[in-house]
Amino acid sequence: MATLEILKYPDPRLRLVAKALDAVTEETRQLIESMAETMYAAAGCGLAATQVGVDVRLFIIDIAGEDEASDLKVFINPEIVETRGVQSWEEGCLSFPGATEEIRRADWVKVRALDASGQPFELEATGLMAIAIQHENDHLNGVLMIDKLNALKRRLVSRKVNRALQEDAQS
């Protein structure tokens, strides 16, 4: 598989609301493999299909630490069915290079989805997994981390991203 191009803010495709997948096909499994390769190459812990320009309700997460075995989780047609509590987390995003911001999200989530085989599952999560699920699910709805910030912070993040993209273009 090959790595895919990760769309960078303010690419308008990041604002698209993804469509549900009707079936898990060989093409879906190839997309999952390419997304995983892309996420690992970019040193991310989550990636939504919309971030690589594919308009389907699919995201992947692997929050395993560097000294832990990979634990890739696939979420197809995810639905967050319940949330509780509040936590703040310093979030980054592969579509926002060079930017991290403290974002408030639910502390606990319950999500229903299909796995890479098309089998339904339900997962309850806290901590980083809960944050990652909410962050990636937002991507599928065209919602970006910058939308969770006040106007001043949005401008600062936009500047950070523009500076990081300019530095990348020069190297």
pLDDT tens digit sequence for 97-119: 989 999 999 999 999 999 999 99
Residue 163 main-chain phi, psi, to 5 deg: -65, -45
Interval 115-153: pLDDT, tens = 999 999 999 999 999 999 999 999 999 999 999 999 989
* Domain-wise residue ranges, the chain: 12-170
Domain 12-170 classification at class level: alpha beta
Out of 26, 68, 136, 167, the active site residue is 136
Question: What does the angle CA 92 – CA 98 – CA 103 come to, to the nearest 5 degrees?
Answer: 30
Phi, psi of 19 (to 5 degrees): -95, 150
Consecutive H or E run containing 12: none
Measured CA distances, 48 to 8, 127, 143, 151, 167 (Å): 13, 19, 12, 25, 25
CB 101 within 8 A of CB 157: yes
pLDDT tens-place string over residues 46-77: 999 999 999 999 999 999 988 899 999 999 99
Query: With b meaning 16 or more CB within 10 Å and e meaning fewer, what string describes 39-63?
Result: bbeeebbbbbbbbbebebbbbbbbb
Enter the tokens of residue 87: 């936590």
Q: Which of 118, 150, 121 is nearest to 133 (CA)?
A: 121
Tell me the residue ranges of DSSP E strands in the chain: 46-48, 58-61, 73-84, 87-92, 100-105, 108-114, 120-126
Query: What pLDDT, on a 0 to 100 scale, did the predictor assign at position 1?
Result: 65
- Annotation marks residue 136 as catalytic: yes
The model's confidence at residue 164, banded by pLDDT at 50, 70 and 90, is confident
- Per DSSP, the residues of 123-136 read EEEEHHHHHHHHHH
Q: Looking at the DSSP assignment, which residues form a beta bridge with residue 61?
A: 46, 73
